[in-house]
A and B are shown apart, each in its own frame.
Chain A
Amino acid sequence: MKDLLFKMADDALIIGHRNSEWTGLGPILEEDIAFSSMAQDKIGHAQALYTILHEEFGEPSPDKLVYERDEKQYRCCHLVELPIGEYDFSLMRHFLFDHAEFLRYQLLANSNYERLAALSKKITGELKYHLLHADTWLKKLGAANEESRARLQSSLNEAYPYALGIFEKSDEENKLIKEGIFAGEEKLQQLWLEKIEPVINAVGLKLPSKKTEPALGGRKGFHTEHLQPLLDEMSEVYRLEPGAEW
C-alpha cells in the first residue's frame, strides 16, 4: 500500500516540479499559466498523498518526505524526471503521463481503501482539465504543419519507452489486486493504450512499436541522472536551515 502511495506522490511531485520550470518561459502566456497551474495542482495532489502516508502509515511529515529523502528513496518513474526539453517534448510527456495518471485515479476511485478512493474522486475532477489541455494542444499542433507534426512524432518516439516505465510493477501488486485496492499496472496500461492510441492516430502520428522496451527501475529506486540534481535544487533552501519556521 505504502509503495503505491509513494510512487503516485513522487510522480506528482516531480512532474509538478518539471511543469513549474515553464513558469516565465512558456511559448505563449496561456501556456506559461497552464503549466504553472498544472504544477500547482500536481504538487497539491502529492501533498495530499504524503499526508495519508504521514497520518496513516507513520511516515515523516510531507515536508520531510519531500526535502530529506535522496534519490534512492524516491519511487517516481523515469518519464517525470526528464528535463523539460523543448515545448513539444513537455507537451508530449504531459499527454502521455496525464492520461495514465487520470486513469489511475479513476480506478482508485473504486478502491476498497476508502481514504484513497475519496481523494481520487476529488482529484479526477481536476485532472480532466489537464487532459483537455493536453488533447487540445496535441490536436492543434498535429494539424498545424509538417514541422509541428514532425516535432511531435520525434518527441513521442523519445518519450514512449519512458512512458511505458510508468507501469513498472511493484512486488506487492498482486496483494493490492486481490484485496480490491488497485486493479494493477497491467490493467492500467491496457486502459491507457486504448485511450491514447485513437488520439495519436487522429492527429496523424504513429505510436512506436508494441515491442518497445520500457525504461524500468524508477519504482525500485533506480533513477536517471536527472533526478538528483532536481532534488538538490528543490531542497536547496530547506537544507540551509532544516526545520526552520517561516
Chain B
Amino acid sequence: MFTKTRETIWSALETVKDPEIPVISVVDLGIICEVKIENDTAYITMTPTFVGCPAIDYMRNQIKKAVEEIGFEKVEVKVDMNRKWSTNDISEKGKKLLAEFRLSPPPHLEGEVELTDLQAACPHCGSKDTSMNSPFGSTLCRAMYHCKHCGLAFEQFKPK
C-alpha cells in the first residue's frame, strides 16, 4: 500500500530514466518543473532538454506509468516549453552518473554558454587536453570530442 504524497511521486520519478542516457533519472536530469496533487490527481510538469528532443513523448508516458503504479488513478503530465532548461539543472549526482556512463558531464555555467570557451574533460582518462570534433553527436544533447592524452574519442553532454 502506497501513501499518495508528493514525496512518493518524486521517488517514483527517480525510477524513470532518460531513454537516450539510461543511467540518469528525469529528476537528476532536472527536467521535472513541478509536482502537485489536487483532488486525488497527480500533476507533473516537465520540460525537454532540447525543444526537438524525440524522447519527450516516451518520457511523458513513462512518467505517467510510474506514477500510476504507485496508486494514482489520475495522472496528468504536462510538457512546458516555456521554461528554459539549462545543464546547470542537472544534479551533482546526475553529473557523476554521466561521467560513470563515460559521457563527459557539462561544466557549470556562469550565465550563458560561451562558444569560445568550450571544453570537456575526457571521461576515460580525466585529461582536459581535448578538442571538439563536432558540436553534434549521437543525440541532440551531445558533442563529439577527441582526447589528445589517451587518444580516445568521447562524447560530452553539451553545456546549454
Which A residues form the contact surface with B (CB < 8 A)?
30-31, 33-34, 36-38, 40-45, 47-48, 51, 114-115, 118-119, 121-123, 125-126, 128-129, 131-133, 136
Contact = CB atoms under 8 A, between A and B. Distances in A.
B136 A123 contact: no
8 contacts: A40-B52, A41-B51, A44-B52, A44-B53, A114-B82, A123-B51, A131-B115, A132-B135
B52 A30 contact: no
B96 interface: no
Residue of B81, B86, B133, B138 ringed by the most chain A CB atoms within 10 A: B81
B51 A44 contact: yes
A41 B140 contact: yes
Contact of A133 (B50, B83, B118, B136): B136
Please provide the 3 A-B residue pairs with the shortest distance between their CB atoms, ordered closest to farther: A44-B52, A118-B82, A37-B136
Interface of B: 50-54, 81-86, 112-113, 115, 118, 133-138, 140, 143-144, 158, 160
B51 A122 contact: yes
Nearest to A32: B136
Contacts of A128: 113, 115
B22 to A, nearest CB: 20
A33 B137 contact: yes
A40 B140 contact: yes
B160 A51 contact: no
Nearest to B109: A125
B81 A48 contact: yes
Given A128-B115, A131-B115, A30 B133 contact: yes
A157 B93 CA distance: 51
Contact of A118 (B84, B115, B158): B84
Nearest to A28: B134
A40 B54 contact: yes
Nearest to A41: B52
Contact of A125 (B52, B81, B133, B160): B160
Contact of B84 (A42, A47, A125): A125
Contact of B158 (A115, A123, A129): A129
Contact of B50 (A36, A118, A126, A131): A126
A180 to B, nearest CB: 18
B94 to A, nearest CB: 18
A163 to B, nearest CB: 22
B115 A126 contact: no
Given A30-B144, A51-B81, A122-B85, A129 B136 contact: yes
Contacts of A31: 134
A141 to B, nearest CB: 15
A40 B136 CA distance: 11
A129 B135 contact: yes
A126 B54 CA distance: 15
B77 to A, nearest CB: 16
Given A118-B83, A125-B86, A41 B50 contact: yes
A38 B136 contact: yes
Contacts of B51: 41, 44-45, 47-48, 119, 122-123, 126
Given A30-B144, A128-B113, A119 B82 contact: yes
